[in-house]
Amino acid sequence: MIPRIPSLNWLRVFEAAARTGSFARAADALNMSPPAVSQQIKALEGALGQPLFERGARSVTLTDAGKAFLPTVVRALHSVESASASLFGGRDTAPLTIQCSLLFAAGWLAPRLKQFLAANPDIRINLTSTIQDEDFNVGKSDLRIVFGMPPGPFEASAPLFGEEIYPVALPEIANSLLSPSDLLKYPLVEIATHRANWWSFLPQDGLAPNFLYTDNTLTALSLAQTGAIALARRPASADLPASYGLVPCQAFKPTRGAQSYALIYSGEAQLNSAALRFREWLLVEAADPLA
C-alpha cells in the first residue's frame, strides 16, 4: 500500500533540512524551533517507513532513500508555488514580461541584466525577443524595447539611445580594405529594414554591390564569419563582433544611424512596481552611451 502523507508542511521541512544540512538551520529558514523540525521529520519518516536522514552532532545527511525522494519533493513544492502565483498572485508577483528587439536583448541588455536582478531579487523577468515590428503586437507584455518604432495610442515612450554603424569582418579581410571600392570585392550583408545601411560607405560610382540579405544583425555577424562583411551597430551590438572573431574595418569611420531605441509602455498608472523599477534602472543605464 502506498503511504499517505497527511501534511504538506512535512515536505517543506524535509526540503529545508536537506537543503541546509541541518535541522537548526532549517528551523531558522522556516521560522520554527529545532525540536518542531525534528518532530515533523520523524513524522514523515514514520509515514514512509524509512529513515530519510542520518543524524550527526551538528548536521544531518540524506540517506539513500532521502536522496531518491528529494527531487520529487522539490518538483512538487515548485509546482504548488508556481500554480499559486499564477492563479492567485497579484500583479506584482507575476513575472515582468519584456518584449525586446533581438539585437538590443542579445548585445546590450543580456550582459547588464544580472545587475538589475541582483538589486531586485524579488522580480522575475520573462524576456522575449523580436525582429519584425509586427511581432511586438503578439502577446501581452508590460514593457517593450523597440527600434525605430513609434508608440501606439494610449502609450508612453522614453528614448534610450541611437546607434553608430561601422563595417566588421574577419581580420584578413578588414586589413585588405583601403577604400570604398574595396568593399565591392566581398559579399555585403544587408538588413533592408534598417534605414542606416551600406549606402553610407559604398562608392558613389553606380557599381552594383553583391548584397546578401538577412533580417537581423546576429545572423549578419554569423555570415561575416564565412567571408562576408557585416555592419555592427554600437552600442546595441556591444562586444558581439569580437565574439564572432570579427574586427572593425579601420579604413571606414563609424557613421551615426537614423533610428533609435525607445522604451514603450502604457501610462504610468498601469505599471506595477516591478515595471517601474525596471524602467528607472534602464533609463539610468542607457543614458548617453554615444555622447
What digits encode the pLDDT tens for the residues 32-43? 899 999 999 999
pLDDT in tens, 105-157: 999 999 999 999 999 998 999 998 887 665 655 456 889 999 988 887 778 88
| Residue ranges of domains in the chain | 8-88, 93-162+260-285, 164-256
pLDDT in tens, 225-238: 999 999 999 999 98
pLDDT in tens, 53-96: 999 888 899 999 999 999 888 888 877 766 666 566 554 456 89
Backbone φ, ψ for residue 172 (5° rounding): -65, -30
Provide the pLDDT for residue 91: 47
pTM recorded for the entire structure? 0.64
Per-residue three-class SS string for 11-45: HHHHHHHHHHCCHHHHHHHHCCCHHHHHHHHHHHH
Fold of 164-256: D-Maltodextrin-Binding Protein; domain 2 (3.40.190)
- The average pLDDT across 12-36 equals 89
C-alpha cell at position 120 = 531586485
The one-letter amino acid at 262: A
In 3D, which of 101, 147, 184, 218 has the Cα closest to residue 230? Answer: 218
Please list, residue by residue across 166-198, b when 16 or more beta carbons sit within 10 angstroms of its beta carbon and e when fewer do: bbbbbeebbeebeeeebbeebbbbbbeebebbb
The one-letter amino acid at 226: T
Provide the pLDDT for residue 153: 72
Round the average pLDDT of the chain to a whole number and report it.
86
Per DSSP bridges, beta strands 96-101 and 143-147 are: parallel
- The average pLDDT across 259-279 equals 85
Provide the pLDDT for residue 265: 87
Backbone φ, ψ for residue 34 (5° rounding): -55, -40
Element (H, E) at 84: helix 64-88
CATH of domain 8-88: 1.10.10.10
Please list, residue by residue across 65-76, b when 16 or more beta carbons sit within 10 angstroms of its beta carbon and e when fewer do: ebeebbeebeee
Does the fold of domain 164-256 match that of domain 8-88?
Answer: no
- The average pLDDT across 22-27 equals 90
Superfamily of chain region 93-162+260-285: Periplasmic binding protein-like II (3.40.190.10)
Provide the pLDDT for residue 13: 93
Measured between alpha carbons, how far is 156 from 174 in angstroms, rounded to an integer? 42
